[in-house]
Structure 1
Amino acid sequence: MNKVGVKRRRKSEENVKSEETDTRESMNIQNSVMSDLMSGADVGDSENKKKSNKSVAWTTDQRTQLFDAIIKRLPSPLDWKEIAEDVDGKSHTQCYDQWRKRMLSDLKKSVASE
């Protein structure tokens, strides 16, 4: 096989591995979210935890966009990169963190108080 064919095969193999990793990562995040929903664990920020990134303010409109994007995709696996496309000015990591640390915690408190 010539060098070009070998390079193409290697790139193809790398793309498949990358897609498998992305899929596994997405499934891990989804399982974590579903686990958080089903458990009574507190997922809010702790005062003792160090924040690695500066806190970026979320508007009410952005939170609404995030919630709508999540609801639209349930019960299928949550792809945070796709969800972030529906939220103005936020990355997939910011969307996941906002959901897990703020919105999910608030949702649990709201359900528990009813």
Structure 2
Amino acid sequence: MDKIGVKRRRKSEKIEKNFKSVDADAGESMNIQNSIMSDLLSEADISNSENKKKPNKSAWTTDQRMQLFESIIKRLPTPLDWKEIAEDVDGKSHTQCYDQWRKRMLSDLKKSVASE
């Protein structure tokens, strides 16, 4: 396996460990998930409204973010297979799903958890 693949796998495993460490009891966990999703979705389409002249084909819709989040949640605590996850997200590749999770959603998740 190439170096990039190894680094991505390690980062993915690190992300999963961080996510697991935040786990609370089942009822509280569901409240946290709902809170996180509302935070993520409230800012979901800001980029589309700011850039109406030039449509961005890679822009994420609220539904796509929800599909990504649900797909990741149902696969935890096992290692995340981004190709399988991408099959659950309409119109997005495994690379786009990984980047969206790593660059946008995970940082928002960490901020949300830190603020509680």
TM value normalised by structure 2:
0.57
Q: Mind listing any 5+ residue stretches in structure 2 that lack a counterpart? A: 22-55
RMSD between aligned alpha carbons? 2.5
What residue number does 1:4 align with? none
Which is greater in Rg?
1
Alignment partner of 1:103 out of 99, 105, 108: 105
Structure of greater relative contact order (alpha carbons < 8 Å, 6+ residues apart): 1
CA distance in structure 2 between the partners assigned to 1:36 and 1:94 by the alignment: 21
What residue number does 2:13 align with? 31
Q: 1:30 to 1:95 in 2, by over 3 A?
A: same
What residue number does 1:93 align with? 95
SS in 2 for 1:101: helix
Q: Deviations over 1:12-42 (max 9, x none)?
A: xxxxxxxxx49x757434224236656xxxx
- Which segments of structure 1 move beyond 6 Å, counting only runs of 4 or more? none
Give the length in aligned residue pairs: 78
State, as a whole percentage, how many aligned pairs show the same letter. Answer: 71
TM value normalised by structure 1:
0.58
Q: Mind listing any 5+ residue stretches in structure 1 that lack a counterpart? A: 1-20, 39-53
